[in-house]
Structure 1
Amino acid sequence: MKERVIALGFFDGVHLGHGALLRRAAEEAALRGCTPAVFTFDRPPKEVVTGVPCPLINSPEDRRDLVRRLYRIQDVLMVPFDREMMTTPWDDFIVRILVGRYHAVHLVAGHDHHFGHRNQGTPELLAQKCAQLGLGCDIIPKVEVAGITVSSTYIRRLVELGQISRANRFLGHPHTLTGTVRHGRGIGSSQLFPTANLVIPPHVLVPSHGVYATRATLEDGSCYAAVTNVGTRPTVQNGSDITVEACLLDFQGDLYGKQLRLEFYEHLRQEVRFDSLDALRAQIQSDADATRTYFADGVPTFPAL
């Protein structure tokens, strides 16, 4: 039987507040000689309960990858939020699911964590039940940056506004979007740099329309600076479909059908319509120069609190 120290939460964004839980879970697991793990759901419980779509910072795949890559917790329990989960009483959730099914010996949760049927489980009830069962328990207080509580809700708003460098301060890492590369029209940009049009995962936020300094990581682990346009590409198409098109600098090859992870670092400019393709190409070259300058001193880091 694999005993686990389990961090509880939805972990959208895997931000600095989540990082405090994840580090605590890893520390306790090391002390106990058992497995650090994350228990989360495949979709937002609120979306299932209300039927209203909830745009998220990350896809489930990106959430799992960020936990593993940044916090070295490999055991990510991505559980379907189905009718069983929705109707399970809070105490039954602890006893039957976390302990009985996943062998929890210690639980870590945030100060505002609610769980179980109708969200009736609270951090206080969690701590009381753990004490009754002889389980370890940590309730992690809120984490603040510049006097503002770190939360997925706040970070979502920053991403929607295109305030990526500020969002990254609260995330503790660059905003991440992973997708499969599809064919695009590539007019204007492909003649300068290889372009990758990403398929945006369902229910995932894209940053505000504009051009960003980004970094692309390919399936083989190689990384390239990239100029990424988010928007409707008004110079080359007059439709309303939102596209995410990355122009990879210093890369040669075909990206079609491959997985690509984009990390957003800096908003360079708003998306604008140009009078000609030549003007667009000149601007892309200027954006490429700005991106090279941004990364000239290396890739920025975001120290944990």
Structure 2
Amino acid sequence: MTDYEVIPLQSTPQPRRYAATIGFFDGVHLGHRYVLEQLREEAAQRRLGTMVVTFDEHPQRVLGRSDAPALLTDNTEKLSLLADCGIDACVLLHFTPTMAHLSAAEFMREYLHNVLPVDALLIGYDHHFGQPMSGEGFAQYVTYGAQNGIEVLPAHAYAPDTAVSDALRYSSSTVRKLLQQGEVQRASVVLGRPYQLEGRVTQGRQNGRKLGFPTANLSPTNAQKLIPRSGVYATRVVMDGRMFPAMTNVGTRPTLNNGRDVTIETHIFDFEGDLYGQLLTLQFVDRLRDEQRFETLAALVHQLNVDARQARRLLAAVHV
């Protein structure tokens, strides 16, 4: 089979055998991290390495589903986050319609047994894989595993302090919903970090510079990544290993642009320099307000000054 790639995530020699878990792990949020923590514990007890089996593209997108979700993390981000969690290796499967028709038993035999050195499989509390069959659940996975020499283990659900988490469900769909509502601060609670976009700075109309707020116009490097709801945000910019406080407008710039194309424009506080062509990572910390149309440029500039003061205060108080 050539429809997969095994990617070492640590600099140490790779283990010979693994405990694995399967999933798309979009966002690698705190719920995912809790599963990965359990994976490491189970692997250590069995003297195995840890492996995440995932897909290079979201299965719903490959199958042409109209409800295929936008991404929280691209593959590069995902691999980096999995490495930070101490996972030894990641298997990127090239998902195809043919693979979608494999049953769980067939998937376990053809990939986990015949191809990958997997001795144990940790399955999330609400996770299913393979073409679904009526009545199939964890007990059947245990049976399939036994038939292939794989110990199948249950993962427990993440149970955060609800006083802190506001009873949020720790899932990728929750994060997407919060970002689509502009609730980036609550999304960061589920993610365990601010949501971020990577993009390259492109040439703009320099309207911001004329108003005293020069902006970097960001073109996302991955068009499948989710862009938060239109509005003005307190953000941070990571560039060349350094972090800068900033504020960002996501939207159509109704005062200057007559409500046409959606843009991402970031004003970096106290920064001077040419950013054209630079690769930036934008972290969304909090939302300041809705995007709005102003009757005069003077009114817009006044509001931008108010936004800047508020963003500076928020960013100074955040330590994530």
* Alignment TM-score, normalising by the size of structure 1: 0.86
Out of 9, 12, 18, which is 2:32 matched to? 18
Higher mean C-alpha displacement, 22-31 vs 163-172: 22-31
CA contact (8 A) 1:161 1:208 kept: yes
Matched, 1:248 2:285: no
CA contact (8 A) 1:216 1:223 kept: yes
CA contact (8 A) 2:31 2:158 kept: yes
Residue of structure 1 in register with 2:10 after alignment: none
SS in 1 for 2:232: strand
SS in 2 for 1:55: coil
Residue of structure 1 in register with 2:157 after alignment: 142
CA distance in 2, matches of 1:274, 1:260: 29
CA distance in 2, matches of 1:233, 1:43: 32
CA contact (8 A) 1:14 1:66 kept: yes
CA distance in 2, matches of 1:31, 1:75: 18
SS in 1 for 2:300: helix
Listed one character per residue, the Cα deviations across residues 66-92 of structure 1 (whole Å, up to 9, x for unaligned) are 3334x2436332322113321222112
Aligned residues: 298
Residue of structure 2 in register with 1:124 after alignment: 139
SS in 2 for 1:177: strand
Shift in alpha-carbon separation, 1:189–1:273, aligned structure 2, 3 A: farther
CA contact (8 A) 2:112 2:118 kept: yes
Listed one character per residue, the Cα deviations across residues 258-295 of structure 1 (whole Å, up to 9, x for unaligned) are 32222211111111112333433333232222122112
TM-aligned CA deviation for residue 32 of structure 1: 4.6
TM-aligned CA deviation for residue 213 of structure 1: 1.0
CA contact (8 A) 2:252 2:259 kept: yes
CA distance in 2, matches of 1:93, 1:190: 59
SS in 2 for 1:289: helix
Shift in alpha-carbon separation, 1:244–1:31, aligned structure 2, 3 A: farther
TM-aligned CA deviation for residue 128 of structure 1: 3.0
Matched, 1:258 2:278: yes
CA distance in 2, matches of 1:74, 1:242: 40
Matched, 1:271 2:306: no
CA distance in 1, matches of 2:133, 2:25: 17
TM-aligned CA deviation for residue 22 of structure 1: 1.5
CA contact (8 A) 2:63 2:97 kept: no
CA distance in 2, matches of 1:176, 1:190: 28
CA contact (8 A) 1:189 1:195 kept: yes
Higher mean C-alpha displacement, 125-134 vs 11-20: 125-134
Out of 223, 228, 234, which is 1:202 matched to? 223
Out of 294, 300, 304, which is 2:319 matched to? 300
Residue of structure 1 in register with 2:189 after alignment: 169
Shift in alpha-carbon separation, 1:190–1:143, aligned structure 2, 3 A: farther
TM-aligned CA deviation for residue 170 of structure 1: 1.8
Letter in 2 for 1:67: L
Residue of structure 1 in register with 2:232 after alignment: 211
SS in 1 for 2:257: coil
SS in 2 for 1:251: coil
Shift in alpha-carbon separation, 1:279–1:186, aligned structure 2, 3 A: farther
Letter in 1 for 2:41: E
CA contact (8 A) 1:9 1:40 kept: yes
Residue of structure 1 in register with 2:92 after alignment: 78
What does 1:90-109 align with in structure 2 at a 5 Å threshold? 90-109=104-123
RMSD of equivalent CA atoms: 2.6
TM-aligned CA deviation for residue 210 of structure 1: 0.7
CA contact (8 A) 1:53 1:203 kept: no
Counting aligned pairs with the same residue, the percent is 37
Give 1 or 2 for the bigger CA radius of gyration.
2
Out of 44, 50, 53, which is 1:39 matched to? 53
Shift in alpha-carbon separation, 1:59–1:13, aligned structure 2, 3 A: closer
CA contact (8 A) 1:229 1:244 kept: yes
TM-aligned CA deviation for residue 251 of structure 1: 2.8
